[in-house]
Amino acid sequence: MLSKSQAKAFFIFGTAAFSAIFIGLTIDTFQRIPKQTNANELTDSAIRGKHLFDTKNCMGCHTIMGEGAYYAPELTKVLERRGEAFVKAILKDPEAMYPGQRKMVNYHFSDQEIDDLTAFLAWVGKMDLNGFPPKPDLMATAPSGTANNPLEAIQQPQIFSQMCIACHALNGRGGNVGPALDGVGSKFDLQYITKWLSDPAAIKPDTKMPKLPLSEKDITELANYLSSLKGEAK
């Protein structure tokens, strides 16, 4: 049992000690901020993008670094998850990527504004946030091919999980805007798939699939991968 004087001393010294610890941790946190946020890589373009992000109230629908609304996708690592081409295409014309479904407002951003917003999201994506947000298991990147022909397996290109899975499913995982891609290589040959990826409307004028912002390298990798998906077409 403490006496009044002992209890008072315990309270004073305890409060002082824990206050000192709190102040020390606060100072340490502030000292870490420049390095963890890569402050030296904050460009004028990224700063303009941040102002644009705020003025358009993007956090009214999206979260970023854990703050914001939960109506639309989290944006902290969106470039890592979806890739620059996809992000720029969405900012240019949201509905074109998801015909009749995407609810994002088309702000009619200029090319410069799109570059600035992308630069801001790229800077945020490189921050050290102590493991936040956890990486979603959107799609396992695994070789295609058949069990009988493992040597014919083709590695799934990164652009597939960044862009194609947004609308199409494979092995039961992905979007449902377009048809599932299981067995698509048994239904269409390499030449057809290449032409389709290059310009879908040139083959089927009434298609809902947009002309994606794919490089020739992307198209080649995707066509080779998709044509290797043999089996029963769904």
Q: What residues does each domain of the chain span?
A: 39-125, 150-227
Q: Which residue has the tokens 């102040």?
A: 23
Domain 150-227 has CATH 1.10.132.20: no
- Write down the pTM of the prediction: 0.70
Encode the chain (234 residues) as per-residue pLDDT tens digits.
778 888 888 899 999 999 999 999 999 888 888 888 888 889 999 999 999 999 999 999 999 998 999 889 899 999 988 889 889 999 998 887 777 666 788 999 999 999 999 999 999 999 988 888 877 655 444 444 444 444 345 889 989 988 898 889 998 888 888 899 999 999 999 999 999 999 999 999 988 888 888 999 999 999 999 999 987 644
CATH says 39-125 is which class?
Answer: mainly alpha
CA distance 119 to 44: 9
Letter string b/e over residues 39-59, b meaning 16 or more CB atoms within 10 A of that residue's CB: eeeeeebbebbbebbeeeebb
Whether 39-125 and 150-227 share one fold: the answer is: yes
